[in-house]
């Protein structure tokens, strides 16, 4: 079972979410001069209730530890576990998973995972070439990483065929498609595929997709950022699940 090495959570938002989602936290380092902050005081109380080790350090030590001149905390976390695709199962006829192919920018990946957590994606499949899930990803996901399961795609063609055998429809985005995302009926488990920021989806993945959707837009902008596209597609899938408030 392969894993990605992570390092530290460096924001209060991300740490709060990790605690809420019972993510494994080894130790928390806090800037000693910030402990009077009301939000941090509440967080410290929760950490103590959960018997999570806390150390208080000078601010410069926190910044040295994280490489972030604005950081006031550093939470040492367990590695993100990557399960084989064989472990992935649909839990309903509207189970929703993401497949991310070669998303290189850690900010983009974090924003995508934030949307995935917000719209109750059941798991995220990562291919080789994706940015490692480290502090920047945690920060940009606002802790969404801790709410998700992760899977590693190793054999593109073989794993896609396995997902189809498990009953998943492989859905890709294309501006050449004729079906707008909001006109698609979400009535079976789906894996939504999004490609690299510059190259898009690989030929093998495109050829083996069952359905192509598009996000209609004006001609003023050539294309959306991949994290924006993901959020739009997932919001409509979530709406169709009937889970919106």
Complete DSSP assignment for 162-192: HHHHTT-EEEEE-TT-SSBGGG----S-EEE
pLDDT computed for residue 175 by the predictor: 80
pTM of the model: 0.87
Tokens of 160: 């896609």
In the predicted structure, residue 5 carries a pLDDT above the cut 80: no
Checking DSSP bridges between strand 80-84 and strand 150-152, what pairing results, if any?
parallel
- 3-state secondary structure at position 71: coil
Would you state the pLDDT for residue 69?
Answer: 87
Whole-angstrom Cα distance, residue 116 to residue 193?
A: 13
Q: Is 81 exposed, middle or buried (0-12, 13-18, 19+ CB in 10 A)?
A: middle
Is the pLDDT reported for residue 180 higher than 80? yes
Percent of the chain scoring above 70 in pLDDT: 96
Q: Could you tell me which CATH class the domain 80-240 is placed in?
A: alpha beta
Whether 167 contacts 93, CB under 8 Å: no
Q: Where in the chain is the domain with CATH 3.40.1280.10?
A: 80-240
Beta pairing class for 3-4 and 80-84: antiparallel
Query: What mean pLDDT do residues 137-147 have?
Result: 92
- Phi first, then psi, for residue 36 (nearest 5°) are -80, -10
pLDDT of residue 174: 86
């Amino acid at each position: 079972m392969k894993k990605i090495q992570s390092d530290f959570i460096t924001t209060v938002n991300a740490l709060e979410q990790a605690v809420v989602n019972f993510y494994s936290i080894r130790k928390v380092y806090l800037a000693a001069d910030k402990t009077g902050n009301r939000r941090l005081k509440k967080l410290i109380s929760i950490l103590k209730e959960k018997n999570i080790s806390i150390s208080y350090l000078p601010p410069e030590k926190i910044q040295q530890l994280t490489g972030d001149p604005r950081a006031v905390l550093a939470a040492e976390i367990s590695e993100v576990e990557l399960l084989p695709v064989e472990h992935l199962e649909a839990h309903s006829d509207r189970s929703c998973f993401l497949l991310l192919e070669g998303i290189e920018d850690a900010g983009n990946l974090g924003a995508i995972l934030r949307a995935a957590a917000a719209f109750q994606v059941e798991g995220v499949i990562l291919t080789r070439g994706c940015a490692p899930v480290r502090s920047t990803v945690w920060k940009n996901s606002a802790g969404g990483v801790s709410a998700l399961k992760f899977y590693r795609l190793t054999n593109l063609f073989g794993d896609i065929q396995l997902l189809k055998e498990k009953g998943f429809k492989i859905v890709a985005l294309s501006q050449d498609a004729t079906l707008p995302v909001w006109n698609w009926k979400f009535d079976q488990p789906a894996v939504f595929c999004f490609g690299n920021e510059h190259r898009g989806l690989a030929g093998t993945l495109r050829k083996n997709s069952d359905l192509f959707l598009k996000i209609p837009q004006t001609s003023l902008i050539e294309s959306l950022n991949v994290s924006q596209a993901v959020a739009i597609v997932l919001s409509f899938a979530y709406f169709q699940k009937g889970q919106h408030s």
